[in-house]
Amino acid sequence: MSDGRFVTADGMTLYTFDKDTTPGVSACTGGCMSNWPAATAAPTDKQAGDAKGDGFKEIWHIARP
């Protein structure tokens, strides 16, 4: 059953980062990128899985359509 979130093929949840303000450019670099690696999606990717970690430090949010 889908809960409306995006996940990678490995089941990792896609999050948005409130500090990202420029389209196509992330403010998450260095150690941040090690903990929260960037993911790309294809138009055919599907959504699925359980929600965990939403609201981390109040700046990470589960990406939803």
d(CA 25, CA 27): 7
- pLDDT at residue 38 in the model: 77
- Mean pLDDT over 21-36 rounds to 86
The pLDDT of residue 2: 57
Of the candidates 17, 5, 18, 8, the one whose C-alpha atom is nearest the C-alpha of residue 40 is 8
Residue 49 has pLDDT above 50, yes or no: yes
* pLDDT, position 1: 38
Q: Is the pTM of this model over 0.85?
A: no
Q: Hey, is 25 helix, strand or coil?
A: strand
Residue positions counted in the chain: 65
Mean pLDDT for 20-47 is: 80
